[in-house]
Structure 1
Amino acid sequence: MTITLTTQDKATIRTAAYGAVSLLAAAGGAGKPHKIATHGSIALSSATGLVGHVLSEKSGAIKLTGKTVAEMADQVLPALTEAVGLLEKEAPTEAENFRSTVRLALEAAQTHQSSPSPTMTEMTRKITEALDAA
C-alpha cells in the first residue's frame, strides 16, 4: 500500500512535531531552551516509517510565528491534532507512530533535568491532549 501525502500534509506533520519540541522549550527553558530543543529534535530525527521520512525532509516549511508561548501554542496544538487526524485517515499505524515519536521527543527533551518544571509538565499535558484529540 502506497501512501501519498500532499506537500501541505507533510508541512503539517513537521510543524506539529518540531513545533511541539519548540513549544516545550519555550515553556520550560529556564535558561536552557537550546538543550530541550536539541534533545527533542534528536529524538524526532530517529523516527522510522512514513513519519520518519516526513520528519527527515527539509524542514524549511516549518514557520512558527509569534513571540509568545500562547501564540506558538495557537499554531502547534491544532497542528498536532490535524496531523494525527490525517495520518489516521491515510495510514492508521502511522498515526500511532507519530504519537509515539512526539511523546518520545518530549521525554527526551526533558532528560537533562532532574525533574521537569511545572510549566513543562503542563505543556506536556497540553501537547499530549492535542495528540489524543483526533
Structure 2
Amino acid sequence: MSITITLTDQDKSTLRTAAYGAVSLMAAAGAPHKGITHGCVALASATGLVGHVLAAKSKDIHLPGKSVAELADQVLASLTAAMSLLGEQYPGEADNFRGTVLVAVEAAAGPRKGEPSPVVAAMARTIIAALDAA
C-alpha cells in the first residue's frame, strides 16, 4: 500500500536548501573535496519522500552569502525549518531526512583515516544542533 504525501514547492525548496546547504557548510569549513563528493552522493542516495525531493532536478537551491556566517544563517535555519515541517506532517520522513543529512555530513567530513579537523568537526556539531532544534 502506498501513501501519497504532498509537499508544496516551497517545502521542497526548503528541504533541498537544507540538505545541500549542510554539505556546502562542510565544504566552507574545510572538509576535503573527496568528502564533499561523498556527501553529495549520500544525498542523491536517499530513499522515501526525502529521496524523491532531493533527487528532483530543480533550480531552487540558492545559497548566497559572502561569508560562512551568512551561509550558515540560511542553511541552519533551513535545517530547523525542514525538521519542523516534516516532524509536524510526516514524522517518519523527519527521521529519514535527519538520517540522510547526518550520513551526508559524516561522509563530507572526510576519509576514515584520522579525525576531521577541529573546524570541520565543529561545523558538523552545529549542523546536528540545527537538526535537533525543531
TM-score bracket for this pair, using the shorter chain length: over 0.9
Partner residue, 2:50: 51
Distance in structure 1 (CA, Å) of the matches to 2:125 and 2:109: 14
Distance in structure 1 (CA, Å) of the matches to 2:64 and 2:52: 25
Partner residue, 2:11: 9
Partner residue, 2:83: 84
Stretch moving more, 34-43 or 11-20 = 34-43
Partner residue, 2:24: 22
In the alignment, is the contact (CA less than 8 A) between 1:64 and 1:75 conserved in 2?
yes
Distance in structure 2 (CA, Å) of the matches to 1:52 and 1:89: 19
- Percent identical among aligned pairs is 63
Q: Secondary structure at the match of 1:60?
A: coil
Q: 1:56 to 1:11 in 2, by over 3 A?
A: same
The offset of 1:39, in angstroms, is 1.1
The offset of 1:58, in angstroms, is 1.3
In the alignment, is the contact (CA less than 8 A) between 1:47 and 1:101 conserved in 2?
yes
Structure 1: 5+ residue stretches without partners: none
Distance in structure 1 (CA, Å) of the matches to 2:58 and 2:124: 23
Distance in structure 2 (CA, Å) of the matches to 1:36 and 1:23: 12
Distance in structure 2 (CA, Å) of the matches to 1:114 and 1:67: 31
Code of the residue aligned with 1:82 in structure 2: it is A
Distance in structure 2 (CA, Å) of the matches to 1:8 and 1:119: 31
The offset of 1:68, in angstroms, is 1.1
The offset of 1:2, in angstroms, is 2.0
In the alignment, is the contact (CA less than 8 A) between 1:49 and 1:94 conserved in 2?
yes
Code of the residue aligned with 1:9 in structure 2: it is D
The offset of 1:28, in angstroms, is 1.9
Q: Secondary structure at the match of 2:114?
A: coil
Structure 1 moving runs of 4+ over 4 Å: none
Structure 2: 5+ residue stretches without partners: none
> Normalized against structure 1, the TM-score is what?
0.93
Partner residue, 1:93: 92
Distance in structure 2 (CA, Å) of the matches to 1:97 and 1:82: 15
Code of the residue aligned with 2:5 in structure 1: it is I
> Normalized against structure 2, the TM-score is what?
0.93
More helix by share: 1
Q: Secondary structure at the match of 2:115?
A: coil
The offset of 1:122, in angstroms, is 0.5
- Alpha-carbon deviations, 1:11-52, whole Å to 9, x = none? 0000000000000111124xx4x3232110001111000000
